[in-house]
Chains A and B, each alone.
Chain A
Amino acid sequence: MDLGKGSNKSSANSPAVIGLIAVITVLLGVGGLVIAQLTPVLFPDQASAEANQIDQLFKVMLGIGGSIFLLVQGVLIYSIIRYRKRQGDNTDGPTVHGNVTLEVVWTAIPAVVVLGLVIYSYQVWVDIQEPKEDELVVHVEARRFGWTFLYEDERLTAGNGNGNENSNATRFPAPDLHVYAGQPVRLVMETEDVIHSFWVPEMRIKQDLLPGRTTEMRITPQLVDGRASDEYPLRYRVVCTELCGSGHGAMFTYVYLHEDEESYMQWVDSSVESVLNPPEDPVLNGMRIMASGVYGCQSCHALQDSREGMTLSWDAVTGPSLQGIADRASTRVSGQPAEEYLYESIYDPGAYIVPGYGNIMNQYQFVNPDAAHYLPKPDAEAITAYLCTVSDEFTPEELAENPLCDFDNLLSYSEMYTMDGMN
């Protein structure tokens, strides 16, 4: 490339030589283009408007980089083949010390290229960063090793039965992120413990969550090329990309990309509905609370369960699996009945540590609503009631006949564990 520049200035060169250099230049350019066109196929879906821009920028850089790559490798391979030392040739090469013009050329051309890339990147960055109109605000809370998303909804007011009296009262929780095509989203993110980083590869956007700070990022989801209408909502992984401890790799959840507002609102409505009108049955209510992700149980525990229109599909590995927990609960600590074991495990996770796992679960406060980890007592009771029915050995009908826990007993136990500030 550089060499071509110089030769054009020289009138002394034969047309054939100029032609050759032109051919090489064009070959390099075309080679770069080919590399740029082929490689981005390796990117995942473009599920956000930002993805288009970022991929385009990447493609441009890859094209330029590809040309440089071909130039360097070309010269290298050519030299190795052509100038390799022949057997018996003990002469030295020509004593050529350098060339100022070439120095200028290969300082200036990269500088100009780099400058161009800076300007282009800057434009893309400004575009991505720019606040959009009518952004949907979603609050993100991260903890080791999971995510909870909180959505604003005006139907929710303080004291509407979701139990939380604090600022989250007007928000409903979800373990997954739901967005729909064309609706810009602003994520307002906080972490409870260490640094995490929010990344959806298909949306190309990443932002760290820093202790003591609130960070923000913007996504504009879009329809994905080549996806049929019935494939929606598309499901992508949200992964943590900042090392956060033993469960870092397992710290992921999903983002659901709805095709349109209607489908998204259906999900919102059903979520709000379940917050406003929780099931009477404590078992089902416990399941609803867990499914909402509000306490982050899904972050560490695995559990597959579906009943009465609700499903839990968790596959985290950092904490002990909850699959069939009711069968084991009564035998974990000798002398402790199942319901007490389960309840105590929520109240004081360190009381009994399942072998092979660390003592990393949050210490929940049952009374003080201002506590960092507040879990109202009724919720704890409901969760315990639900967990008492999570059995592999018995069918729901059998459990109805012979429950594994005594629910009345549970209420009396729960009286024993109401002191706040127990540590």
Chain B
Amino acid sequence: MATASYPMDGVAGQVKRPALAEYFTWSIDHKIIGVQYIVTSLFFFIIAGALAMLIRWELMTPEITVMADGSQYNTLFSIHGTMMIFTWIVPFWAGLGNYLIPLMLGAKDMAFPWLNAFAFWLLPPSGFLLILGFFIGPAEAGWTSYPPLSTIYSPDGQTLWALSIHLVGLSSILGAINFIVTIKNMRPPSMGWFQMPLFAWATLATSIIVVLATPFLAGALTLLLLDRVAGTTFFDATSGGDVLLWQNIFWFYSHPAVYIMILPGFGVLSEVLAIHSRKPIFGYRMIALSSMAIAIVGFTVWAHHMFTSLQPELRIPFMITSMIIAVPTGIKIFGWLGTIWGGRIRLNSANLFSLGFLSLFVIGGISGVMLAAVPVNIHMHDTYFVVSHFHFVLYGGSVFAIYSALYHWWPKITGRMLDERLGKIHFVTTYIGFLGTFMPQHIVGMQGMPRRVAVYDPQFQDLNVLISLFSFLLGISTFFLLYNMVVSTVAGRVAGANPWRALTLEWQTTSPPPAYNFAGEPVPFEDPYGYGTDASKAYLDAMESRFGPSPGAEEERRPPSGALPEPQPAGD
């Protein structure tokens, strides 16, 4: 069995990473697979982000100017959306979970290492299929692919699209089964359900949704593929089919999928805010249980995506459930505010992105409640207001959480710190670029600009130019992160085992951890967020004496007088 060649001794102050080549092999080490996931998804993020830039470039004029025709534009946003969802956010969380869950639970690996590798290796081919579609007549029916546009009116790329999503779906299901079994069965005996880190709770809730919801997509895609290639007419109303059947089954999956994308982000936030505010998470059990509540209620709200197509009398029940789901989300937000209140908030990049998440996600949440109201929805449906809403929760939410997670766990994964100054520049440009891009979209949407159009009413041009300019800033901001990652990997400051002095188990081993993660049996501190107690200080000090001090934390512990020299910038 191939495993990574980590040092087993875990000598302090040293960074021993697996050889680069291992990342290109069929490895069954969860840490290798985690990094494979993360890097692959980042690759697709950059491609899909470039498509977004093209979209915004096109939208600077109310006519089609950059693209050849409307189809090409439709392709852009279809692939943009599909890639961002299925090959960026979902697999990123799978990758982060892969890397962290066994570490957080003190396990040596995931429950099924081979299955884990198999699930990952489904991802590159599916992304490849999506891109291949560009060359044989691309999918242009949007990421929702409503028939009959996606069946009788679409080119062959739509078939590739469906195959590609099928593969990602299978990958998610296998990954999720692995997560559930790992979380349930592989904790140390002393770690009860309610001593798990909240990221594990979030991953558990996410995985339950994946196992129960993703098969709906698989089923729907199978029928769609049959319609496309075998001459069946499941969704063709002119031949005894039903267009709403697709919409229902698709949203059976795709609404829960929204929580697949955001729940791990909630988990990240619970970790980062507690650790970087040096305070226990406020109301652990409610934050843990609200994840499960969201997972359950999330199955009952799908039809709010169909408020303009569903029979009018069926819309009300879904309005009720859609609004109710705001309650568990609110519990989390208030819990996080309680966590930072009175803490020692470190304004480092990881925490800045989490705080930024908090401020942006609230806006997305509020516009979400507005959209849940049927009368408001029938005005806003399929307009830029909706585009803005879901970018607030998926970019301002999920992607900000992803950034936060990268800054927070990068030292663990690579053994080196990301540069803080670049990180702050990254945060500021992202935050401003984001607000400038997506705030005005609320307005154009309210005023009457539908989504998915290349040709629009010229009265919206001014705002669209403004949006596009800010979106270019947002695009550029990403490069600060990429540059930072590259430079840090090669020459960043060495992190040490536990630069943040965090209590969860993944920090109680070397960075990066050795093969099988822990030398000997890990000893968890059973209150994962018990900051401020004497016991936690003793535990952290003991750990420090075991693994040596964490030089990465120098900046955090600088005395007021400036007795220590300025932190050395990356590369020194």
Contacts and interface: CB of A to CB of B under 8 A. Distances in A.
- A and B: direct contact (Cβ < 8 Å)? yes
Interface of A: 2, 42-44, 50, 53-54, 57-58, 61-62, 65, 68-69, 72-73, 75-76, 79-80, 83-99, 102-103, 106-107, 110-111, 114, 117-118, 121-122, 124-125, 128-129, 193-195, 197, 199, 201-202, 204-208, 210-213, 215, 237, 239-250, 252, 317-318, 356, 358
30 contacts: A75-B341, A79-B342, A85-B345, A87-B559, A88-B561, A89-B344, A92-B278, A92-B344, A92-B531, A95-B533, A96-B282, A99-B283, A106-B334, A107-B331, A114-B323, A125-B315, A194-B153, A195-B148, A204-B378, A205-B379, A206-B379, A210-B244, A211-B243, A237-B457, A239-B450, A240-B450, A241-B451, A243-B142, A243-B452, A250-B455
Contact of A83 (B277, B363, B375, B382): B277
B450 A72 contact: no
A90 B334 CA distance: 26
A258 B308 CA distance: 27
B150 to A, nearest CB: 9
B447 A43 contact: yes
Contact of B373 (A57, A129, A246, A317): A57
Contacts of A65: 366-367, 369-370
Nearest to A145: B70
B376 interface: yes
Contacts of A106: 330-331, 334
A206 B385 CA distance: 14
B457 A210 contact: no
B28 interface: no
A193 B335 CA distance: 50
B207 interface: no
* Most chain B beta-carbon contacts within 10 A, residue among A92, A129, A202: A92
Contacts of A128: 375
Contacts of B217: none
Contacts of B73: 249
A98 B287 CA distance: 11
Contacts of A356: 68-69
B151 to A, nearest CB: 9
Contacts of B324: 111, 114
B383 A53 contact: no
Nearest to A239: B450
A76 B70 CA distance: 43
A185 B452 CA distance: 28
B358 A72 contact: yes
Contacts of A210: 237, 243-244, 309
B376 A57 contact: yes
B532 interface: yes
Top 3 nearest A-B pairs (CB, nearest first) are A212-B237, A201-B448, A249-B453
Contacts of A239: 448, 450, 457
Nearest to A205: B378
B276 to A, nearest CB: 9
Interface string B518-540: 00000000000011110011000
B381 A88 contact: no
Interface string B278-294: 11101111100000000
A53 B375 contact: yes
A124 B325 CA distance: 21
Contact of B355 (A76, A213, A237, A241): A76
Nearest to B75: A246
B559 to A, nearest CB: 4
Nearest to B329: A110
Given A93-B343, A201-B379, A249 B146 contact: no
B22 interface: no
Contacts of B452: 243, 248-249
A212 B147 CA distance: 12
Interface in B234-293: 236-238, 241-244, 277-280, 282-286
B362 A73 contact: yes
A245 B74 contact: yes
B323 A117 contact: yes
A72 B361 CA distance: 11
Given A42-B443, A110-B326, 12 more contacts: A57-B376, A68-B362, A90-B557, A97-B284, A103-B331, A114-B324, A206-B381, A207-B378, A240-B450, A242-B308, A243-B452, A246-B140
Contacts of B333: 72
Nearest to B346: A85
A165 to B, nearest CB: 23
B243 to A, nearest CB: 6
B345 A83 contact: yes
B320 interface: yes
Nearest to B455: A249
A4 to B, nearest CB: 14
B139 to A, nearest CB: 12
B316 interface: yes
A317 B148 CA distance: 22
B237 A93 contact: no
A252 B450 CA distance: 11
Contacts of B456: 249
Contacts of B366: 61, 65, 68-69
A44 B448 CA distance: 8
B481 interface: no
B25 interface: no
Contacts of A240: 450
A83 B278 CA distance: 11
B277 A242 contact: no
B3 interface: no
A121 B375 contact: yes
B185 interface: no
A252 B62 CA distance: 14
A247 B70 contact: yes
A84 B533 contact: no
B447 A76 contact: no
Contact of A79 (B69, B345, B448, B557): B345
Nearest to B559: A88
B338 interface: yes
A95 B530 contact: yes
Contact of A98 (B64, B282, B355, B378): B282
Contacts of A86: 560
B393 interface: no
A213 to B, nearest CB: 7
Contacts of A97: 280, 282-284
Nearest to B370: A61
B342 A93 contact: yes
A73 B359 contact: yes
A199 B142 CA distance: 19
B378 A84 contact: no
Contact of A75 (B320, B337, B343): B337
B326 A79 contact: no
Contacts of A107: 286, 327, 330-331
Given A69-B363, A72-B358, A128-B375, A211 B238 contact: yes
